[in-house]
Amino acid sequence: MKRSGLTQKIYSYLRAAQTWYLDTPERSLDEAYKAALLIKAIEDEHFNGKKIAPESVNYGDSVMAYFQSELKKQLKTIRMRLVEFKASRSVFGSSNQTITKLARNNGSTSAKDSFAIQTRNNSSLILEKLRFVDEIVAKYSSAETTPSLVKPPQFIQSEPKLKVEDQQSPSANQSDKKTSSKAEETSVLPRSILSTLNRLKVELDPSSEEEIVKNFRNSQRRTLVSVRLVLLFIIVPFLTFQISKSFIIGPIVDYFRNPNETTIFLNYEMEERAIIEMQRFEEKLRFQTLLTGVVELSPHQIETRMREKVLEIAQEYRAESSNAIKNVFADLFALGSFSVLLLLSRREIAVLKDFIDQIVYGLSDSAKAFIIILFTDIFVGFHSPHGWEVILEGISRHLGLPENREFIFLFIATFPVILDTIFKYWIFRYLNRISPSAVATYRTMNE
């Protein structure tokens, strides 16, 4: 009875989760439609049905700032919900919730007719909502407000497109710099005078301000995309791990692992730790008896205390074994979510790579040398084996694996050496060509 009640509870949770997922396309479109209605209400009430802009109605700066912030918020909601609508619709297909509801019928003719009618009604309603949203969004489809918003594709295509020259690889930029540096070396005038003249030329150019603003906006968008992608890579797998472990894997493992029948220890290392803990408890019990000077415990009393401690240790290690099993499957769920993010964010990954390259190659020579020395000393330095040993032991306990000392020592003897070789090759192959002064500073600091 207990198992049947737990099974029914798990089934109800899974059923509710399925219903929530199947309703995702309709829910996303409804939220986008509501945001468009709010924009339309602001236009009709405060701007005489015209576009929300300073030229439509004569308002002060504070009032326009308020309306602009509301507009940006609702347009952002529309953009995200439309992306969610298309992504979920491509996964779930059309009319999933309707199919689920009508599947309970016995396949009668009336059920089939009602399904066809409801499908046509849903399709026409979806088209009406999308048409209304497109009409609202089309008014604010300029690059300054919501870039690439009129045709909201997948998540990776809804971000602002960067200019081609902003997405050039660091090697291309460095090759251009090398060409210019060679030209400067062959010039008659000194390099500092040429750079000063070029700077004055840029400052006196009337179109330089517009170019600077445009570059700043592109850089700002690149930074926002990169920061958001990094946060997604951290938050989404973590939340997937916690949610799947607590609400999906945990109840299933607890249901199938009977506390009275399941093996307590997953590996011999757990059993050895339990035995050592029992020995320490017995020695501590005798020590406290001698220290306090009370009457020495009888063998029966010691046995009673030891039996209580054994039950406590057994319960503790049974919970640790169950937790290790849950961690294995939850890690698979988290890895799957991370893989899906990688597949759906290819364009953002390219922007992130360009962002990281600009940060790394934009550092000073001393900063580059400091970061290289810091990473090499942490991962391949003299004290790095202790850190790797702690990391491997933690991973073994997390997955319920025995702490194989031979494997740990073999890993420490090979992997840091491979990392050190990769570091040295990168310094010789790339950094020495891109920034020779940084390499010279690194060698001086390392010596």
pLDDT, one tens digit per residue, over 304-334 is 888 898 889 888 888 888 899 999 999 999 9
Res 342: pLDDT: 92
Q: Among 301-305, 332-336, 340-344, name the one with the lowest average pLDDT.
A: 301-305
- What confidence category does residue 38 fall into, taking pLDDT thresholds of 50, 70 and 90? confident
d(CA 163, CA 143): 13
d(CA 19, CA 22): 5
Average pLDDT over residues 103-118: 52
Q: Return the structure tokens found at 374.
A: 């810091």
**Mean pLDDT computed over every residue of the chain:** 76
The answer to whether 52 touches 39, Cβ cutoff 8 Å, is: yes
Query: How far, in Å, are 187, 281, 314, 336, 346 from residue 320 at the CA level?
Result: 72, 20, 10, 24, 39
d(CA 391, CA 399): 13
d(CA 154, CA 168): 24
- Residue 148, judged by CB atoms within 10 A of its CB (0-12, 13-18, 19+), counts as middle
pLDDT tens digits, 171-219: 444 444 444 444 444 455 565 676 677 777 766 666 667 777 788 888 8
Q: How many helices (H) and strands (E) does the chain have?
A: 17, 0
pLDDT tens digits, 234-277: 999 999 999 999 999 988 888 887 666 667 788 888 888 888 99
Res 426: pLDDT: 84
The answer to whether 51 touches 125, Cβ cutoff 8 Å, is: no
The answer to whether 81 touches 147, Cβ cutoff 8 Å, is: no
In the chain, the N- to C-terminal Cα span, in Å, equals 73
d(CA 25, CA 89): 6
- What confidence category does residue 384 fall into, taking pLDDT thresholds of 50, 70 and 90? confident
Residue 409 has pLDDT above 50, yes or no: yes
Q: Specify the higher pLDDT residue, 133 or 102.
A: 133
Nearest C-alpha neighbor of 322 from the set 310, 314, 333: 314
The DSSP annotation for 395-409 comes to: HHHHHT----HHHHH
Nearest C-alpha neighbor of 299 from the set 285, 284, 319: 285
Residue 166 has pLDDT above 50, yes or no: no
Query: How far, in Å, are 98, 239, 413 from residue 378 at the CA level?
Result: 57, 29, 15
d(CA 80, CA 343): 18
Q: Phi first, then psi: give them for residue 160, nearest 5 degrees.
A: -65, 135
Average pLDDT over residues 39-63: 80
- What confidence category does residue 336 fall into, taking pLDDT thresholds of 50, 70 and 90? very high
Res 10: pLDDT: 67
Average pLDDT over residues 371-375: 87
pLDDT tens digits, 13-33: 666 655 655 667 787 888 888
Cα of 378 vs its chain's centroid, Å = 25
Average pLDDT over residues 34-41: 87
Q: Phi first, then psi: give them for residue 366, nearest 5 degrees.
A: -65, -35
Res 103: pLDDT: 45
- What confidence category does residue 230 fall into, taking pLDDT thresholds of 50, 70 and 90? very high
Cα of 8 vs its chain's centroid, Å = 33
- Residue 222, judged by CB atoms within 10 A of its CB (0-12, 13-18, 19+), counts as buried
Res 96: pLDDT: 47
Q: Is 168 helix (H, G, I), strand (E, B) or coil?
A: coil
Provide the residue ranges of all domains of the chain, joining segments of one domain with +: 18-156, 159-354, 363-447
d(CA 87, CA 93): 10
CA angle 79, 83, 86 (to 5 degrees): 140
pTM recorded for the entire structure: 0.51
Nearby residues of 89 by Cβ (< 8 Å), 6 or more positions away: 25
Nearest C-alpha neighbor of 433 from the set 185, 186, 171: 171
